[in-house]
Structure 1
């Protein structure tokens, strides 16, 4: 259905390329025979995520920080495209340390934009966030209707969109922003204080612990499998539709799942490997500051302008992810 042959031989920089999403993008680009450079400071990225690529002649690692402009300029030299994934994620992390989140997510983003523009990069694709919708209660979320941000993290990701828009208006520099909705899948880290809910719960179930759901479990999310996100990035890179440029797109499946339902699916799929998991009870804690109650994306814009047709539903992706975690974390 999709032909990404135009990416063969292209020189592409992936910032945050050792992270969960970034390493999956590096892998997909190498499969397309692109020349891939990964820039990462390993603050949250993992060396094991890119270990399989280090022997590939088409892969280069630059260990450095996007907060350093010279590093950004070096990484952008002679590149056709940039996939900017480097960021400090997590709403709670941004609440606990808003200064560092801003330095990385806004300051680092701006330095990458400047470096890419100055280097003559053709197109700059960046990771935006569904957190930008803030307190908007409308469902599904449509790109041009947002509310007020509910966390420092959400502010940083919205500011990135504003900077990208200004760089088009001021410098005629082409960008595409992808508002990720609760991405999950292989290589997502289950450890640490800011681990995402799916790998964290999987890890707890596998060790027969009782996961704790924040609130009553009826908050809902548009959980999006990693392969759908990779597809969106490849489409954003290769699209020859000029109308598709300088836009932001929801990057999701377009389906809403409550946390209570998520837990039931996880127990069902994990119990196929370990029947005892089916009997593990969950606990309920306080609602978390900065959390958006409900999240559901309209993906019509991406379908119309980028020809996006996601292959994996949440449940299909969850089965894939659970199998990967079982085989890699036991």
Structure 2
């Protein structure tokens, strides 16, 4: 396809290569979700600005097979208010993925992490132009105490009452985004292959243990939580952007009831493909989930606007088993970095 030609026959490309494009700022665009999402945005016809610190280098973008014609890359800190404000104002919409998004990483440097998660979001929101859309990737951990004694699935109407300081930073960020008429996506545990691969995520880590040790240590085995494949997660951000007007000002649980599993059930799926692995259940309280995630979730709101998932836990385990056994030591070290 030659540059400068309008592509009327392809409905996914909403602009000709000559015309100005709707520009989307993706903070954390080189991360686990971002490196999966950015190629989707570009192929859909958006121009994209990646704003990232690149703590793990440029490799995630090299792995993404990016069409760079409408891509801008900025090596920037989410706390650099002057640079960030300028980038926000030159964009049409913001997808906010940057932050300290794992509890272990948060607990290592809690004061810095709190500032990154809360003040970073405040800088973004304060920089928005009137009616400029923002989509924020939150976590299902925000429900905390409210989800502990529910008799039915947890809906978005439940109060956010976080149990951990990590989850509390997302609650504060959610308030800012919703006040600005943005969209909050409450994300469960992600899994699957991404250009910026992570092995600390539960499903990915269980497969990693099985492949490298032939043994899985299973904590709180019967706690049930929700999961979503990283590709579906990226697609949900794209779907939200494409449907921003009807989704504004609300929070959405992202996922599907078919993806609610206990850790024991996930291990059984892995064991179906690796029958010789051993599973033990240590009682070490150090590995207890501080947010006590063990509840069912309602996904009716996200389904009502038309989004559904496409990949199962079985799909994710199968793809992980094709890749994880062949990672080099250097790759494993990078995938475990938080």
Please tell me the TM-score bracket, short chain as reference: 0.7 to 0.9
Alpha-carbon distance in structure 2 between the residues aligned to 1:322 and 1:280 = 13
1:12 aligns with 2:24: yes
User: Retained in 1: the 8 A contact 2:22–2:92?
Assistant: yes
CA apart distance, 1:83: 0.7
Relative distance call for 1:329 and 1:142 in structure 2 (3 A) is: farther
User: Retained in 2: the 8 A contact 1:94–1:151?
Assistant: no
Question: Deviations 1:266-325 (Å, cap 9, x if unpaired)?
Answer: 2324x3xxxxxx212123232415132414321110111x21122223323433444344
User: Retained in 2: the 8 A contact 1:76–1:121?
Assistant: no
Relative distance call for 1:329 and 1:36 in structure 2 (3 A) is: farther
Q: CA RMSD in A?
A: 2.4
1:279 aligns with 2:279: no
Aligned ranges for residues 57-76 of structure 1 at < 5 Å? 57-76=69-88
User: Retained in 2: the 8 A contact 1:21–1:226?
Assistant: yes
Picking from 253, 256, 261, the partner of 2:256 is 253
**What residue ranges of structure 2 are gaps of 5+ in the alignment?**
1-10, 330-338
Q: Secondary structure at the match of 1:20?
A: coil
Q: Secondary structure at the match of 1:207?
A: helix
Relative distance call for 1:92 and 1:7 in structure 2 (3 A) is: farther
Picking from 141, 151, 154, the partner of 1:141 is 154
Alpha-carbon distance in structure 2 between the residues aligned to 1:312 and 1:90 = 23
Relative distance call for 1:296 and 1:46 in structure 2 (3 A) is: farther
**What residue ranges of structure 1 are gaps of 5+ in the alignment?**
168-173, 272-277
TM-score by length of 1: 0.84
Aligned ranges for residues 1-330 of structure 1 at < 5 Å? 5-6=13-14, 9-43=21-55, 46-51=57-62, 52-53=64-65, 56-115=68-127, 117-118=128-129, 122-135=132-145, 136-137=147-148, 138=150, 139-167=152-180, 174-187=181-194, 189-191=197-199, 195-215=200-220, 217-239=221-243, 241-242=245-246, 244-255=247-258, 256-269=260-273, 271=274, 278-285=275-282, 286-287=284-285, 288-304=288-304, 306-326=305-325
Q: Secondary structure at the match of 1:159?
A: helix
Relative distance call for 1:55 and 1:293 in structure 2 (3 A) is: closer
CA apart distance, 1:184: 1.2
Alpha-carbon distance in structure 1 between the residues aligned to 2:80 and 2:249 = 25
CA apart distance, 1:190: 4.0
Alpha-carbon distance in structure 2 between the residues aligned to 1:222 and 1:88 = 20
Question: Deviations 1:201-235 (Å, cap 9, x if unpaired)?
Answer: 222222234232223x1111111112221221112
